[in-house]
Copies of this chain bind each other. A is one copy, B any other.
Amino acid sequence: MEEMTIKDIAKLCGVGVSTVSRAINNHPDINPETKAMIMNAIEENGYIPNNSARNLKRTEAKSIAVLVKGMSNLFFSTMIKVMEEEIKKKKYTLVLHHVEFNEDEIDVALQLVKEKRLAGIIFLGGYFLHKEKLEKLQVPYVLSTVSGPPDNLDWKDFSSIAVDDEAESFKMVDYLIKLGHKRIAILSAISMDESIGKLRLLGYKRALQENHIPLDESLIAPMRTDMEQYSMSNGYMVTKQLLESNIKFTALYAISDMLAIGACKAILESGKRIPEDYSVAGFDGIELGKYYNPSLTTIKQPVEEMARATVKVLFKVLSDNAEHKHQVVPAELIKGESTRELL
């Protein structure tokens, strides 16, 4: 039993290849009986169309790629699920693709567009430093949860959806300060970070400033570069070191929930309690934060809403030829058990 092709099916049914093609692709101009007969033969012989050939020939496949930077990111998995639903509703197919931290998502996108004849692209996370490359992308795309794409980009070329990372970060730190904390350590991104990491740090600094608390550089603890970014283990290691350094602080603000959980473990392991000895806050609002013990105080990004908005704006551009749009969505401060008022 060799590999079946459309020709084999055509021969088997005594029809031309184009008729078979029409049957497969639900073309309207085909006799229902012929179609039924063909579909039957296809079923029985287990024929599967070759996608490569299809993509090669097709002008446009009704598919949209979602490129996720950094897998095992719990935060994204909910978003993807919602996007899949929404895209399905529009009769399109979602092509999911993971991009490693060291891969260039734009290269991947460029490739995928050629290979799959994509109608559009959604970028989930990532940085985007290369203006020239992005300009080569001829299909509509949306940056989702990528706040602060570089200013040198032409903002008319794409859409974006994100929370205001700086403002939300400010909100959290301001909240901690209002609780009475003055020495607030921040578990931040690596110093070269130009994206959300930078913005969240900026929010931290502004909150201190507006509350007249001098910035203490020793309270800024960047993630380690030799470990996975935004991972629990990274948060754990950095916090452990921070604790051992004997720098005094009463609250720790991690710029992501995963980091925060790692931080919590380091604190608990050192014999200290949360929130009695240290208040800990995160950012993102992943489901795990609710389940952690203590439950995490965090900034909850409206994942469902963002996912829905992302797909919506993409289809606006795609179908209605609408202009690209840049949306900022509000996030919510969730008060968990991991922070307390300092009396």
Contact = CB atoms under 8 A, between A and B. Distances in A.
Interface of A: 3, 46, 48-53, 55-56, 71-72, 74, 77-78, 80, 96, 98, 110-111, 114-116, 136, 138, 232-233, 236, 261-262, 264-265, 268, 287-288, 290-294
B287 A50 contact: no
A217 to B, nearest CB: 28
13 contacts: A46-B110, A48-B114, A50-B56, A50-B114, A51-B52, A51-B114, A71-B80, A72-B74, A96-B98, A232-B291, A236-B291, A261-B288, A265-B293
A110 B49 CA distance: 10
A56 B57 CA distance: 11
Contacts of A72: 74, 77-78
A112 B93 CA distance: 15
A90 B50 CA distance: 27
Nearest to A138: B3
A264 to B, nearest CB: 7
Contacts of A236: 291
Contact of A115 (B46, B51, B138, B290): B51
A111 B52 CA distance: 10
